[in-house]
A and B are shown apart, each in its own frame.
Chain A
């Protein structure tokens, strides 16, 4: 029971991070039907920028809270700039091109961001400064760190806020209208290019937050970390039904739980033939099963473009 609760807690932490990243995929897909494969690399940039800033600020003697706030703000700023630049320079010129062109461009942009980051930060692993938030509190045998609490609560607030924005605000209404029929939205005075930019801005900001969280959680950042994380979050978005925001949240959390529980029990089930290092298998087996048997996902409406 303790193992189970522990893995649920770990899975929830991971799942919240996946959900934040998955929202970035699904926001853009919902409007442009583009799978922005460079999105995972924004998380990597968020992690590396926040790591560098937190380390620098701590080095100058700033208190932890100031260093974290500065790291977060810097990461959000840089990620938003990169996200908007991607949209303007790479995707907007291809707006009316066949769908495969922006998709391939997205894969190319992912490489550009990775190799660009390798130039700036080098190809080595960077360890995240100790935030002092990782000392564990034991709670009936279940170990929880304050950092996990911050990640789960922070993500849930952001997810709730975003769902409110999209489902209840006038801006969100314009976003949903643009996703359903961009021409009709223009005919009602919606600047659809601005709505598209906004989807990239929101997605990039969430990726920045996820980058700081994932860097702090695993205490490491690396220029290729965005690839696997991006793929997992994409899986989460597909699992929930790509283009559907609540689906992305649900898919992210389910995937996190699945991975953590799988990793926790796989060794026992298979007589230690397979260990927790096989946890990625769960995510990608899920992706394949969803794509084969229910491509519209749990809450989705229509099948996504094949990729």
Chain B
């Protein structure tokens, strides 16, 4: 089998004395779509933050594209295509929409790519000179996704992309995400809305108290009565 795009071995994340993630291992093949599912505090966001490099690995290792990335800083990971759209979207409220998008190009301006994003999100184009903080929550999420598109992601990690959004906005956000994965980008998705996450992804890892308690194909998860009861509210 070919080398995986990303391999996490025995990841642990600690905050002070608190263990947020414990012994998590994960292999992602290029183009795979994987969901991380679990209750609040299960360690989903901490896992993504550790992979993106904004919280350190207390234990374990990260290899990306066959190289050891465990100790590399967040900004280098982003430049290599390990992209996290954080919870709360990470939009710069006092930069204009255009400037927010330009930040996604990381100092490698590419007008053609920018035009594509504007064509996909005409609302952002209309309001490009406005401060991003004036956008609604849903529009800010679309801006964050549009900006992530411009980063040339190889692994796209999305943390709660639908959080706090009205239902039609959620549809719009998931539409954009499925368009993004159709281009072949590898996806690691954390999402409260487990059904939508499982419908979009190939595989899922279920986390409880920082540990992986179950991992299988998304279809298997969707069919499991115990998981449906626990995470789909049935």
Contacts and interface: CB of A to CB of B under 8 A. Distances in A.
A190 B75 contact: yes
Contacts of B76: 189
A183 B90 contact: yes
Given A186-B73, A188-B103, A176 B84 contact: no
Nearest to B94: A180
A189 B95 contact: no
Contact of B147 (A176, A181, A188): A188
A192 interface: yes
A196 interface: no
B60 interface: no
Contacts of B84: 187
Nearest to B100: A177
B75 A184 contact: no
Nearest to B78: A189
B31 interface: no
A278 to B, nearest CB: 40
B32 interface: no
B104 interface: yes
Contacts of B107: 170, 174, 189
A185 B73 CA distance: 12
Nearest to B132: A180
Contacts, number: 69
A130 interface: no
A305 interface: no
Contact of B54 (A173, A174, A186, A189): A186
User: Which of the listed residues A174, A180, A189, A192 has the most CB atoms from chain B within 10 Å of its own CB?
Assistant: A189
Contacts of B54: 183, 186-187
Contacts of B147: 188
A191 interface: yes
Interface string A158-196: 000000000000100110110011011111111110000
A191 B103 contact: no
A301 B133 CA distance: 13
Interface in A143-164: none
Interface string B132-162: 0000000000000001000100000000000
B104 A180 contact: no
A189 B106 contact: yes
A180 B106 CA distance: 17
Given A186-B54, A189-B78, A180 B93 contact: yes
B75 A181 contact: no
B74 A187 contact: yes
B79 A181 contact: no
B94 A188 contact: no
Contacts of B94: 176, 180, 301
A188 B105 CA distance: 8
A280 to B, nearest CB: 35
A174 B109 CA distance: 14
A173 B75 contact: no
A195 to B, nearest CB: 10
A186 B76 CA distance: 8
Nearest to A170: B107
Interface string B73-101: 11110110001111000111111000100
Given A173-B103, A183-B86, A191 B95 contact: no
A184 B90 contact: yes
B102 interface: yes
Nearest to B90: A184
B11 interface: no
A121 to B, nearest CB: 40
Given A180-B92, A180-B94, A189 B75 contact: yes
B173 interface: no
User: Which of the listed residues A177, A186, A190, A301 has the most CB atoms from chain B within 10 Å of its own CB?
Assistant: A186
A264 B153 CA distance: 63
Interface in A172-231: 173-174, 176-177, 180-181, 183-192
Contact of A181 (B53, B83, B92): B92
Given A186-B54, A188-B104, A188-B151, A173 B99 contact: yes
A191 B75 contact: yes
Nearest to A171: B107
Nearest to A192: B75
B95 A173 contact: yes
20 contacts: A170-B107, A174-B103, A176-B94, A176-B95, A177-B99, A180-B93, A183-B74, A183-B86, A184-B90, A186-B73, A186-B78, A187-B52, A187-B74, A187-B83, A189-B79, A189-B106, A189-B151, A190-B75, A190-B103, A192-B75
Given A181-B90, A189-B79, 5 more contacts: A174-B103, A176-B99, A188-B103, A189-B75, A301-B94
Shortest beta-carbon contacts, A-B, top 9: A184-B90, A189-B106, A186-B74, A189-B78, A189-B79, A180-B92, A191-B75, A186-B75, A188-B103
Interface of A: 170, 173-174, 176-177, 180-181, 183-192, 301
